[in-house]
A and B are shown apart, each in its own frame.
Chain A
Amino acid sequence: MKSDSQSNINWAKRLGHYILTLAALWACGPGITRAQADETCSSPYLARIEGQEEFIYVWTLGVEGLGDGSDKLVVVDAKPGSPTYGKVIDTHSVGGRNEAHHGGFTDDRRQLWLSGLESSKIFIFDVYSNPAHPRYLKTIENFAKTTGGAVGPHGVYALPGRVLVPCLSNGKDQSGRTALVEFSNDGDYIATHWLPTKDEPRGVAGAKSADGYGYDARVLPRKNVLLTSSFTGLNNYMRSFGDLVKDAEAMKQFGSSMVLWNFHTRQPKKAFNVPGAPLEIRWAWGEKHNYAFTATALTSKLWLCFEDDKGEWQAKETASIGGENGVLPVDISLSADDRTLFVDCFGDGKCRVFDVADPHHPKQIYERPVGKQLNMVSQSWDGKRLYFSSSLLARWDKGGDDNEQFVKAFAWDGHELKPGFALDFTTLKLGRPHHMLFGSTRVGK
Chain B
Amino acid sequence: MKTIRFLSALLAAGAIASGEPADSARTAEHDYDAPVPGSYTLPVIKPAADGALLDTSGKPLRLRELTRSRVTVLSFIYTRCAAANACPYATGVLLQLHRASSADSDLAKHLRLVSISFDPVNDTPERMSAWSSLSAQHPAAAPWHFVTTHSQTELDPILTAYGQAVDKKQNPLAPTGPLNHTLRVFLVDSAGNIRNIYSSGTLDVRLVLADVRTLLLESIRDPAPTANHGSHATK
Give A contacts to B, CB under 8 Å. 5, 8-9, 11-13, 15-16, 18-30, 32-34, 44-45, 47, 107-108, 110, 146-149, 160-162, 179, 182, 184-186, 188-194, 200, 202, 221-225, 262, 264-267, 287, 443-445
Is B197 in contact with chain A by the CB < 8 A criterion? Answer: yes
Q: CB distance A160 to B201 under 8 Å?
A: yes
Q: CB distance B29 to A11 under 8 Å?
A: no
Of B60-68, B77-85, B100-108, B118-126, the one contacting chain A is: B77-85
Residues of B contacting A110 in the complex (Cβ-Cβ under 8 angstroms): 165
Q: CB distance B28 to A11 under 8 Å?
A: no
Q: CB distance A194 to B234 under 8 Å?
A: yes
Tell me how far the C-beta of A269 lies from the nearest C-beta in chain B, rounded to whole angstroms. 11
Q: CB distance B40 to A27 under 8 Å?
A: no
Q: CB distance A224 to B165 under 8 Å?
A: no
Nearest CB in chain A to that of B200: its residue:
A26
Q: CB distance B137 to A9 under 8 Å?
A: yes
Is B168 in contact with chain A by the CB < 8 A criterion? Answer: no
Is B69 in contact with chain A by the CB < 8 A criterion? Answer: no
Q: CB distance A24 to B229 under 8 Å?
A: no
- With A12-B136, A20-B95, A445-B182 as known contacts, state yes or no: A29 contacts B2, CB within 8 Å: yes
Q: Which of B35, B181, B184 contacts A264 (CB 8 A)?
A: B35
Tell me how far the C-beta of A125 lies from the nearest C-beta in chain B, rounded to whole angstroms. 16
Residues of B contacting A262 in the complex (Cβ-Cβ under 8 angstroms): 35, 40
Q: CB distance B84 to A33 under 8 Å?
A: yes
Main secondary structure of the interface of A (DSSP, over half): mixed
User: Could you pull out 14 A-B pairs where Cβ atoms are within 8 angstroms?
Assistant: A20-B10, A20-B95, A23-B88, A26-B84, A27-B30, A161-B45, A188-B45, A192-B232, A192-B234, A222-B29, A223-B31, A224-B30, A444-B180, A445-B183
Residues of B contacting A225 in the complex (Cβ-Cβ under 8 angstroms): 32
Residues of A contacting B183 in the complex (Cβ-Cβ under 8 angstroms): 445
- With A22-B88, A24-B12, A186-B163 as known contacts, state yes or no: A33 contacts B83, CB within 8 Å: yes
Q: CB distance B197 to A27 under 8 Å?
A: no
CA distance A146 to B160 in the complex (A): 24
A29-B28, A161-B199 known; 15 other A-B pairs, CB under 8 Å?
Answer: A9-B136, A13-B137, A19-B88, A23-B92, A27-B28, A45-B199, A45-B201, A149-B232, A182-B43, A190-B43, A190-B45, A202-B234, A221-B202, A264-B207, A445-B83
Is B140 in contact with chain A by the CB < 8 A criterion? Answer: no
CA distance A139 to B9 in the complex (A): 46
Tell me how far the C-beta of B129 lies from the nearest C-beta in chain A, rounded to whole angstroms. 10
Instruction: Produce 1/0 per residue, B141-168, CB < 8 A to A.
Output: 0000000000000000000000101000
Give B contacts to A, CB under 8 Å. 2, 5-6, 8-10, 12-13, 27-32, 35, 39-40, 43-46, 82-86, 88-89, 91-93, 95, 130-131, 133-137, 163, 165, 176, 180-184, 186, 197-202, 207, 210, 229-235
CA distance A421 to B129 in the complex (A): 57
CA distance A30 to B5 in the complex (A): 12
- With A20-B13, A23-B93, A445-B180 as known contacts, state yes or no: A265 contacts B133, CB within 8 Å: no
Main secondary structure of the interface of B (DSSP, over half): mixed
Interface hub of B10, B39, B130 (most chain A Cβ within 10 A): B10
- With A23-B88, A28-B5, A108-B165 as known contacts, state yes or no: A161 contacts B184, CB within 8 Å: yes
Q: CB distance A16 to B85 under 8 Å?
A: no
Q: CB distance A191 to B231 under 8 Å?
A: yes
Q: CB distance B197 to A26 under 8 Å?
A: no
Interface hub of B5, B28, B95, B182 (most chain A Cβ within 10 A): B182
Q: CB distance B201 to A44 under 8 Å?
A: yes
Residues of A contacting B13 in the complex (Cβ-Cβ under 8 angstroms): 20, 23-24
Nearest CB in chain A to that of B169: its residue:
A444
Q: Which of A186, A200, A445 contacts B86 (CB 8 A)?
A: A445
Nearest CB in chain A to that of B131: its residue:
A15
Q: Which of A11, A20, A30, A264 contacts B92 (CB 8 A)?
A: A20
Q: CB distance B29 to A27 under 8 Å?
A: yes
Q: CB distance A160 to B199 under 8 Å?
A: yes
Q: CB distance B82 to A22 under 8 Å?
A: yes
- With A161-B184, A161-B199 as known contacts, state yes or no: A192 contacts B235, CB within 8 Å: yes
Closest 9 A/B residue pairs (Cβ): A23-B92, A161-B197, A148-B232, A265-B40, A22-B88, A24-B9, A160-B199, A12-B133, A221-B201
Residues of B contacting A224 in the complex (Cβ-Cβ under 8 angstroms): 30, 32
Q: CB distance A190 to B10 under 8 Å?
A: no
Tell me how far the C-beta of B31 lies from the nearest C-beta in chain A, rounded to whole angstroms. 5
Tell me how far the C-beta of A182 lies from the nearest C-beta in chain B, rounded to whole angstroms. 8
Q: CB distance B95 to A16 under 8 Å?
A: yes
Residues of A contacting B39 in the complex (Cβ-Cβ under 8 angstroms): 265
Nearest CB in chain A to that of B4: its residue:
A28
Tell me how far the C-beta of B43 lies from the nearest C-beta in chain A, rounded to whole angstroms. 4
Q: CB distance A22 to B92 under 8 Å?
A: yes
Residues of B contacting A19 in the complex (Cβ-Cβ under 8 angstroms): 88, 91-92, 95, 134
Q: Which of A9, A18, A24, A190 contacts B231 (CB 8 A)?
A: A190
Interface hub of A20, A223, A444 (most chain B Cβ within 10 A): A20
Q: CB distance B184 to A15 under 8 Å?
A: no
